[in-house]
Structure 1
């Protein structure tokens, strides 16, 4: 019963954090508020929870990585694939080597494999944490796509490096040739298993839906279980469950493009996954806050016994690692940009200049978050011979401090760096939207005509069906007439659409309030009010 109460307290803290972050007079990142609430639960109420590392890894990572792969914008991923790959793989290796050597130089009592494990686990970035900071100062769209793509891939590369470093710490040996071969199997098999699991599940679902019909609840539950199936299948075959979860999510995004799921299923599934993502990220940071006092105490003991230094040195170590991460990232981003510009000059492209503030913002935006926390907490408790894992509490503390520091630095620096920065608008998205609307409208008109002819076989109702079809076709004809306007009219039409959107939302709000009023006055039943409110909500979701 006590465990259930702790879980409920953590969920309540996650809910409270969503309101507190809006009520506070100063703008704080949501993860910082959740960490503070976790510390309150642990310190004031003397409650806490300690999970086995492998259980913690299994519970939190697969669904988060799966959702990242599912929702990442594919156009941005492929357009900036060179930049994303350089950040996701090259920068990870650069960070592991640089930070690992820095940590071992600062703290000689921490074995080199453990230092590299710490460096590997602080290398992945977290776009969810960045988005929580940039809610009031929007980050450039293309930069956000790059950060999302980098995070999707560097989660996998960083955690695979972490796995090898931990294995070296456990066995006391490391072979580059063996590690390279293992990496190939771990990576390729993980990707294949993840993609295969999703494809197999989608084919089975399609067959079942075709023969027995589709149930919203079952489809949503299957989508929730898919990342765990991919992760466990890969781990069973000694492949990377991390990469399997990512590959399963990316494959799911392509399965989604077939459009076979019902509209209501997609609406409900999206809402469920939003809740899962918010809950898992929140619980992870609340857990961090709950364990923070014990982590700090264990780290202080490690420093005092190993280095004979004052505990204040802990914060100096954390600050040095955070500064090192920003400097290494800035160097890599600057060098990558120079290389890209050099290649473009050789291909006779126009030279592109990037503002120094954008380069610095890209460096500061490398915020660490949920993946770093989940990974570092999976450090083994004991070595094979039964002795405690060396410097485990210190490594967890330093990773935790890096999360807090990068969140704090980004929350202070990013709004100032991005405020007033002129970023060229991307016309591609608007052009694609206009093109899609035109084609969709033409397809809709053709479908209406086919359906009208099929429905109007009875001569008595032909006139009714023709008038109904004319009204529906008129909506799409109006859309085509708007799309056919010249480029100079585009902004005016969009302003008109925005005005219409505002009016429709006001009308829908009035409709909903009137339905609720009728239900309160018992002039309509609860079932009728729920049905009407759901219809209004579905229409409103289109405009929001």
Structure 2
């Protein structure tokens, strides 16, 4: 099959499996995608792809890590920096050393340096797979943020460790002092290159868009999508970590975005574009894993010299060893940092045996492990085959599948046994922020006597009438957000709980009617276009305005229904 047709097929299957996962909620999406890929590749005449590891690393990994760096909550990331670093850096070091020696002892035919390479390959975790498994199951939010931060950093540290291990195999030389020096250069250099490119892009974007506005929004979004590839390529060309460069570029760009509150069109396009890129690329990676699975299994079983049951035993032993080292480090090395974070209010949930177990089982391996395994070179510098490459890829693939299945079974059971919790801190922060925004808007409508005297009486009367309506709407929203009504308000002090409840239901009903009116407006506009009374350009512009209004209104309506105690299932009644 032609390469272009293969890419289109993989993207189509990624979209279709994403839709199917909405109906088959019991099976995580990555497992569905791996199974579909294996099914269409298994027969003799199935789909088989000649895999280019370097192209795979360039196309898939930079945008996914950039998106992780761009999206991850920075406040939680820095607040939980100590446990994240302990998991992402120290645990990776222990995993590479301990697991490397275990693999070499268990499989003597695999040289020690190759065993270290395999241990480095399976060291990165996959927070995307964890999120797919634990969605709506009650994984504590701060724990999930910690897992995302760990995944973001250990992707980079694991891949750098793979590069050093492979280099040692190729050259036959290994020096701890040289490794430490090279690691610092690659890590700090990669972070520096990525941060510089992220800030440089942001500065150029600000310079352009503050002159032309949102007119160039589409072009800026396209350049933003290309930024992780540019960061990765530049980093690799100058001999530093392109992976860390992509991560740093994402974090730097996110910080720069905090000063761009006025660029609505660009923001909406960026969110939509990155959601599509992440979904497509994650789906493609797991489908490609499925497509490679039959050939990996067949080649390894035929040529490795090991029985199939021994290979499965190696996979299970490596997977359990990974999880045991992870549990031991969380219990011994990270527990104190987690307890301190909880005492300082940075982490709502207190450390417990069940939470430690859930965090351990969340050590699922995924896309980056596959990319690292397939990036192992085929031959050494002298042309001889890379030692036990097929076995390494088989074991890494087996660990991905094993941890995925084990996590899909165990995590729901563990989370159901944990005490129910609610993210009250985030809800309170959101409520306070909304209240502050409403009060600021009310204050901004106030005009001084001097300002009013500059206009005639009719203008003043119209202005005060409009301000009165808008102010009342903001006050209704504040009443809805605050159980006691407007703070320090005499009227609010006389409100009974029944009056507050009635007001909330009335406000919800008002927003539902407004939403209904927006939908009627949109239907009418499409009818006008079908009757050829307006053109496509006019339709798109007017519908875009209604769409943005509806997005805002639906968000407010969801918050209002929650505050009024109206279940989501009863929303339309």
Alignment TM-score, normalising by the size of structure 1: 0.90
Q: Aligned-pair distance for 1:86?
A: 0.9
Instruction: Kindly provide the CA deviation profile for residues 477-502 of structure 1, in whole angstroms up to 9, marking residues without a partner as x.
Output: 33445556549999997998699568
* Corresponding position: 1:336 with 2:337: no
Q: Aligned-pair distance for 1:279?
A: 0.4
- Aligned residue number for residue 72 of structure 2: 72
- Aligned residue number for residue 100 of structure 2: 100
Instruction: Kindly provide the CA deviation profile for residues 339-395 of structure 1, in whole angstroms up to 9, marking residues without a partner as x.
Output: 448879999xxxx96432222111101111111111211111111111121111111
- Aligned residue number for residue 519 of structure 2: 512
- Aligned residue number for residue 32 of structure 1: 31
Instruction: Kindly provide the CA deviation profile for residues 411-469 of structure 1, in whole angstroms up to 9, marking residues without a partner as x.
Output: 11111110142155444323322332233223323444479998995536443333223
- Aligned residue number for residue 417 of structure 1: 414
- The 3 A distance-change label for structure 1 pair 508 and 48 is farther
* Corresponding position: 1:365 with 2:331: no
Instruction: Kindly provide the CA deviation profile for residues 144-184 of structure 1, in whole angstroms up to 9, marking residues without a partner as x.
Output: 11111111111111111111111111111111111111111
C-alpha distance in structure 2 between counterparts of 1:489 and 1:121, whole Å: 62
- Aligned residue number for residue 474 of structure 1: 472
- Aligned residue number for residue 561 of structure 2: none
Instruction: Kindly provide the CA deviation profile for residues 271-329 of structure 1, in whole angstroms up to 9, marking residues without a partner as x.
Output: 1100000000111111111111111122213421xxxx312211111111111111111
Greater alpha carbon shift after TM alignment, 194-203 vs 94-103: 94-103
* Corresponding position: 1:463 with 2:470: no
- Aligned residue number for residue 135 of structure 2: 135
- Aligned residue number for residue 216 of structure 1: 217
Instruction: Kindly provide the CA deviation profile for residues 42-94 of structure 1, in whole angstroms up to 9, marking residues without a partner as x.
Output: 23452232232111111111111111111111222122222111111111111
CA contact (8 A) 2:83 2:338 kept: no
- The 3 A distance-change label for structure 1 pair 342 and 282 is closer
Greater alpha carbon shift after TM alignment, 483-492 vs 281-290: 483-492
1:310-459 equivalences in 2 (<5 Å): 310-340=307-337, 354-449=351-446, 459=456
C-alpha distance in structure 1 between counterparts of 2:204 and 2:466, whole Å: 39
- The 3 A distance-change label for structure 1 pair 156 and 345 is closer
Point out where structure 1 has 5 or more consecutive residues left out of the alignment.
none
Q: Aligned-pair distance for 1:513?
A: 6.4
- Aligned residue number for residue 86 of structure 1: 86
C-alpha distance in structure 2 between counterparts of 1:462 and 1:411, whole Å: 64
C-alpha distance in structure 2 between counterparts of 1:232 and 1:261, whole Å: 32
Q: Per the alignment, in what secondary structure is the counterpart of residue 466 of structure 2? A: helix
- Aligned residue number for residue 256 of structure 1: 257
Alignment TM-score, normalising by the size of structure 2: 0.85
CA contact (8 A) 1:302 1:391 kept: no
Point out where structure 2 has 5 or more consecutive residues left out of the alignment.
486-494, 556-573
C-alpha distance in structure 2 between counterparts of 1:89 and 1:244, whole Å: 17
- Please tell me the root mean square deviation across aligned C-alpha atoms, in Å: 3.3
Q: What is the aligned length?
A: 537
CA contact (8 A) 1:234 1:241 kept: yes
